[in-house]
Each structure stands twice: as structure tokens, then as C-alpha cells.
């Protein structure tokens, strides 16, 4: 792989930028692989990368029905944080957050990680107690975070209408090491680094069946023919239950539309990410100057990558409630994705009832932030057959044992 650096940039500038190496190949599928990863989002591409890098596997394919990064990875609002309530989540999300700090160097691709801080606002007593409890839980387990009073919030974000009469801001948690990253770059960076380790990334290749013999997976059926594999790792986000159905088992997952939108660009005015679960809206400012706005998921199941106008209107209303000056802005575009929501709002990284078939899903509205940690832990599970120490609680067993990881309060607004 050609190394990206200031020197290579200068070298190619002198040659008119006409001789850059392709970032990744476009190979034909082989007949057999050690591992097939289904889904070329950040989690799937990252899984392939860590399988090759940490576990020495070389015959790996990532199969993608569309284009890589075209699922939720390229559609999210890029918020990264680790301030979840339960110890299991704190451990996994904090592993991911720490990996973000060096991900650009790891994959030699600028993922533009920007630890600009994330504020989670509260607007009533109940909210306040929940957020304070979460800050204390985080501090007890070594995850950075603090509680801010309204006066301190006003100091951090002078533009915010903290004392608005209808829903005044009573306090907030602030995680200063949280922030944002460039979502497409995460997929592209992992794709390029995985390709350099010999991983075949095969786009326009839909998995539409499985070869299962004696309860053991032997390969997949695809729109480009059958491909054999010793192991299959499913990372299909909103289509998890569709693939599970094809493999003959059921998942406790609901797939729902979730959407976001951006405004016309503004001069820099927001230097942090602001989220409010109570009024269901959040906003940050992209490096281009656009306000990136999101809210809750639609209340019904659906596979169309678009959501309901009234949900979008609600999110805009929530943001304008906090920042009345944004009412004058024009919105540039909106889009949607399909998110996979588990009953306890936590992810599933698990073996399945089919031997050598593994699944990583259930990240719902908040899996972008987990990408490097999820990929690292899932690669461990696929390679060794046993969960990574930071992901032991996330198997499907929890829905039978009752040891669920309830994160509804920490994941209350899409993020």
C-alpha cells in the first residue's frame, strides 16, 4: 500500500495528481474463503481489517450488496462518546473511544477525529437525576465526564438559550474527550488498510442465502454465485433480521428508519456537540460549517432509507428551541438510514444457533462511535469462537438469561 503522507502529497502534486494508486482493488470472488464478512460498513470492514492484522487470516472477503460505506456508516451524524450507564457498555464504548484517538495513524487515513466534547442536556428533575447518575457511574469506572450547571453550560456554549421558559436547561453532562469524526473516511480508511492486507472487498454482491450442513455454515449464496467459507460473520446493521431469517433463526431486533439533515454552511459558531434526549434533538457543526441535525427514530418498522417528515420537523423544532437564532437558516438536504434496535438498546456481538456463523448488530441509533471497538471485539469472537473480554455481556444469551444491558436512558435520543 502506498503510504499517504505530506511527502507523497507533494510528490503527486508535482505530477498533476495523475498517478495515485487505487485505494482498493475490485476483485472477482474466489471459490473459498476462511472468513466471509457480510456488510461493508465501518464495522464489517474493520472486522476484516482486525481479522487480518491481529489474527493472521489472509483469505477474507467482505461482501456488500451496494457500495462500501453506503449503509448507516455513510449516513450518520458522526457523534462519538462513551458515557453510557452500564459497566459493560462503558467498557466497550470506552475501548472504541480510545481507539479513535489513533485510528488515523493505524489505518494511514485521516478520519478527522475531533474530540470537541459532547453535552447531554437535562430539562426536568427526572432527567437531571439520570444524567448525574450516569456521570457518577462513568467517573467510578474511570470514564472521563463531568456535570455542568446552567451557568457553566452558558459559559461553554454562549449561543444556547439556556434559560428558555418552556423547557429551561437545568444541567448537562459533558464528556470533553468525546466528539465527532468523518464517517466516510472511516469506511474508506478501513477498506484501504484491509485491502492492503489481502482482504477482497466485493461490492454489488448481495447475500441471499446460506449453505448450512449439519448445523454448520459452509458458505453463502449471492447474486454473484455461491461462495464457500469456513466461517461467516454478519455485520448488516438494519438488515440483520433479514439475514438471520435466511439462516433459519430469529433476532430480537426491530429495523426502523432514522434520519438527519444539514443546514447551509455558517461561520464557526458551535464548538461542541449538543444533545437533548428530553426534547429529542441534537446538533453539531461540521468542518464545512453546516449544522448537522438529528433526532429520534421513526416509531414504526421499515426498510426504506427515508423517514417521516413530522419526525424531522420535531428535530428541527427541538434545535430551534435551544438556538432560536437558527430559525433563519435554510436546510440543504436530509437523508435516512435503517437502524437495528434491540429491546435493551444495546448491541449484539454473538455466536448464533448455526455453528461458525456469527452476528454483530443491534447498534441501533448509536453504533458509529463504537466502530473500532466493535470491529476489534468481533474479529476476536470470529477468530477464537469466544467473546472478547470487553464484549462478554453482548451475546444473544442475555435475552434468555435476563442479564440485559439496559441503555435506554443513555441512548434515548438518536446519536
Could you tell me which stretch among 5-13, 105-113, 146-154, 361-369 binds ligand FAD (CB under 6 A)? 361-369
Count of other CB atoms within 10 angstroms of residue 388: 20
361: three-class secondary structure by DSSP: strand
Specify the residue, 42 or 373, whose C-beta has the smaller distance to ligand FAD: 42
Count of other CB atoms within 10 angstroms of residue 116: 17
* Interacting residue with ligand FAD among 259, 263, 272, 352 (CB under 6 A): 259
Count of other CB atoms within 10 angstroms of residue 301: 14
* Interacting residue with ligand FAD among 75, 97, 182, 398 (CB under 6 A): 75
Asked if 366 touches ligand FAD (CB under 6 A), the answer is yes
* Interacting residue with ligand FAD among 260, 291, 311, 316 (CB under 6 A): 260
Q: How far is the CB of 282 from ligand FAD (least distance, A)?
A: 8
Cell numbers describing residue 142:
474511570
* Interacting residue with ligand FAD among 121, 229, 322, 339 (CB under 6 A): 339
Specify the residue, 77 or 114, whose C-beta has the smaller distance to ligand FAD: 77
Asked if 73 touches ligand FAD (CB under 6 A), the answer is yes
Burial of 407 (0-12, 13-18, 19+ CB in 10 A): buried
| Total residues in contact with ligand FAD, by rule CB under 6 A | 41
Give the separation between CA 122 and CA 133, rounded to whole angstroms.
Answer: 12
Could you tell me which stretch among 7-15, 23-31, 75-83, 313-321 binds ligand FAD (CB under 6 A)? 75-83
Give the separation between CA 403 and CA 283, rounded to whole angstroms.
Answer: 33
C-alpha distances (whole Å) from 237 to each of 70, 156, 250, 385 are 12, 35, 15, 21
* Interacting residue with ligand FAD among 239, 256, 280, 321 (CB under 6 A): 239
Residue 363's DSSP bridge partners are 341
Count of residues for the chain? 415
CA dihedral 332, 309, 180, 4 (to 10 degrees): -60
Residue 201's DSSP bridge partners are 62
Question: Helices 87-100 and 371-384 meet at what angle, rounded to 10?
Answer: 110
What is the dihedral sign for C-alpha 345, 349, 355, 356?
A: positive
Q: Show the binding pattern over residues 16-55: x = contacts ligand FAD (CB under 6 A), - = does not.
A: ----------------------xxxxxxx-----------
Specify the residue, 243 or 322, whose C-beta has the smaller distance to ligand FAD: 243
Q: Show the binding pattern over residues 196-235: x = contacts ligand FAD (CB under 6 A), - = does not.
A: ----------xx---------------------------x
Q: How far is the CB of 135 from ligand FAD (least distance, A)?
A: 19
Asked if 241 touches ligand FAD (CB under 6 A), the answer is no
Residues of this chain that interact with ligand FAD (CB under 6 A) are 38-44, 63-66, 70-73, 75-79, 206-207, 235-237, 239, 243, 258-260, 294, 337, 339, 363, 365-369, 414-415
Amino acid at each position: 500500500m502506498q503510504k499517504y503522507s505530506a511527502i507523497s502529497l507533494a510528490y503527486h502534486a508535482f505530477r498533476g495528481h495523475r498517478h495515485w494508486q487505487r485505494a482498493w482493488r475490485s476483485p472477482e470472488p474466489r471459490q473459498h474463503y476462511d472468513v466471509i464478512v457480510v456488510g461493508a460498513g465501518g464495522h464489517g470492514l474493520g472486522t476484516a481489517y482486525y481479522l487480518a492484522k491481529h489474527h493472521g487470516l489472509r483469505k477474507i472477503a467482505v461482501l456488500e450488496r451496494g457500495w462500501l460505506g453506503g449503509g448507516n456508516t455513510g449516513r450518520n451524524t458522526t457523534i462519538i462518546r462513551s458515557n453510557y450507564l452500564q459497566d459493560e457498555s462503558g467498557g466497550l464504548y470506552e475501548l472504541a473511544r480510545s481507539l479513535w484517538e489513533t485510528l488515523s495513524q493505524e489505518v494511514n487515513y485521516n478520519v478527522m477525529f475531533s474530540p470537541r466534547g459532547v453535552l447531554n442536556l437535562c430539562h426536568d428533575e427526572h432527567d437531571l437525576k439520570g444524567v448525574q447518575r450516569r456521570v457518577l457511574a462513568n467517573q467510578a469506572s474511570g470514564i472521563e465526564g463531568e456535570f455542568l450547571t446552567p451557568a457553566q453550560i452558558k459559559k461553554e456554549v454562549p449561543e444556547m438559550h439556556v434559560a428558555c421558559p418552556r423547557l429551561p436547561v437545568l444541567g448537562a453532562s459533558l464528556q470533553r474527550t468525546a466528539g465527532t469524526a468523518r464517517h466516510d473516511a472511516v469506511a474508506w480508511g478501513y477498506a484501504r488498510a484491509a485491502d492492503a492486507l489481502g482482504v477482497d472487498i466485493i461490492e454489488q454482491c448481495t447475500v441471499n442465502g446460506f449453505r448450512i450442513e449439519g448445523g454448520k455454515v459452509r458458505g453463502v449464496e449471492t447474486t454473484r454465485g455461491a461462495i464457500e467459507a469456513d466461517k461467516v460473520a454478519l455485520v448488516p446493521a438494519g438488515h440483520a433480521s433479514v439475514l438471520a431469517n435466511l439462516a433459519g433463526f430469529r433476532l430480537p431486533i426491530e429495523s426502523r428508519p432514522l434520519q438527519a439533515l444539514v443546514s447551509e454552511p455558517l461561520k464557526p459558531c458551535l464548538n461542541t456537540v449538543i444533545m437533548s434526549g428530553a426534547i429529542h434533538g441534537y446538533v453539531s457543526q461540521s468542518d464545512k460549517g453546516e449544522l448537522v441535525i438529528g433526532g429520534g427514530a421513526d416509531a414504526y418498522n421499515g426498510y426504506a432509507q427515508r423517514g417521516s417528515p413530522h419526525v424531522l420537523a420535531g428535530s428541527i423544532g427541538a434545535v430551534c428551541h435551544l438556538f432560536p437564532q437558527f430559525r433563519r437558516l435554510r436546510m440543504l438536504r436530509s437523508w435516512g438510514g435503517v437502524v437495528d434496535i434491540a429491546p435493551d438498546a444495546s448491541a449484539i456481538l454473538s455466536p448464533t444457533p448455526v455453528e461458525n456463523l456469527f452476528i454483530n448488530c443491534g447498534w441501533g441509533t448509536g453504533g458509529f462511535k463504537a466502530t473500532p471497538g466493535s470491529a476489534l471485539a468481533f474479529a476476536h469472537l470470529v477468530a477464537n469462537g469466544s467473546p472478547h473480554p470487553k464484549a462478554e455481556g453482548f451475546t444473544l444469551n442475555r435475552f434468555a438469561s435476563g442479564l440485559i444491558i439496559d441503555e435506554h436512558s443513555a441512548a434515548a435520543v438518536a446519536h
